[in-house]
Amino acid sequence: MRREWYETFFSPLALEFWRAVIPEEATRDEVDLVERELGLGGSGRLLDLPCGEGRHTLELARRGHRVTGVDLSRHAVERARAEALRIGVSAELEVGDMRAPPAGPFDGACCLGNSFGYLSYEDLKAFLRAMHASLRPGGRWVVDVGTAAESLLPRFGAEDRTLEAAGIRFAVRQRYDVVEGRLLQEAMLARGEACEEGRISYGVYTVAELRRLLVEAGWTVVGLYGALDGRPFSLGDPRLVIVAERS
């Protein structure tokens, strides 16, 4: 079986970079949205998949939810477990593949940070069905998409981009594959003499395509937002937040 790029890309250096880039208030704002849209009216059994280093998992657990966080990166899960011990919260943190969600039933779930776009088209369809099976009837799923076609293509440029955080330089060159409908990036992470290179691939779908895929997998789409405040998505919004419900 072919190894996918995300199985090896998230090294300790890459994880440290993204940890430094994202402010704490962003995590709180995103979890506020998740709680509001799940509509539980109290604590619930929740699934955060993939969970990365657990920033959403641990914030949800801190607010009283019973949370399972799953990620393919052993480095990320180990750090999440250490952070849970440090701040004194309880959460189930497991190493696992998002293409095989744990058995539920969960009351709700989230998939944040644009990881929704990692999968191939066939894997994405299977993922939607598997997540549907993991939630109880009426359970909701909050999905964060950063590469919807209406977000990406109006402002797309093939120029090189560079970000820096925690003394780490992240340089990326990107192009859009019009045949496969994927954003392809060649990335380099460097700090001092340490240098890592990798290739990244995101699926790019229109909002209508994503809605059809979800409906075909059994979901009812109840929200399509362009920001965390819940305003409707419109052309050019940099992120798309989908709220889907298992009928």
Q: Would you say residue 76 lies in a domain?
A: yes
pLDDT for 67 equals 97
Q: Would you say residue 25 lies in a domain?
A: yes
Q: Are residues 184 and 72 in the same domain?
A: no
Query: Which residue ranges in the chain fall short of pLDDT 70?
Result: 1-2, 158
For residue 39, what is the domain's CATH number?
3.40.50.150
Q: Note the pLDDT tens digit of each residue in 166-193.
A: 999 999 999 999 999 999 999 999 999 9
Q: Are residues 20 and 57 in the same domain?
A: yes
Q: How many CB atoms lie within 10 A of CB 247?
A: 10
Which of these, 147, 245, 151, lies nearest to 202 by C-alpha position?
147
Q: Would you say residue 247 lies in a domain?
A: no
Tally of structural domains, the chain? 2
Q: What amino acid occupies position 91?
A: A
pLDDT for 1 equals 52
Q: Are residues 47 and 84 in the same domain?
A: yes
Q: Are residues 43 and 122 in the same domain?
A: yes
Q: Which domain holds residue 170?
A: 151-201
Q: Are residues 116 and 187 in the same domain?
A: no
3-class secondary-structure state, position 90: coil
* pTM: predicted TM-score of the whole model, two decimal places: 0.93
Q: Are residues 136 and 189 in the same domain?
A: no
Q: Facing residues of 144 across strands?
A: 241
pLDDT for 113 equals 86
Q: Would you say residue 210 lies in a domain?
A: no
Q: Are residues 89 and 138 in the same domain?
A: yes
Dist. CA 159–CA 172, nearest whole Å: 9
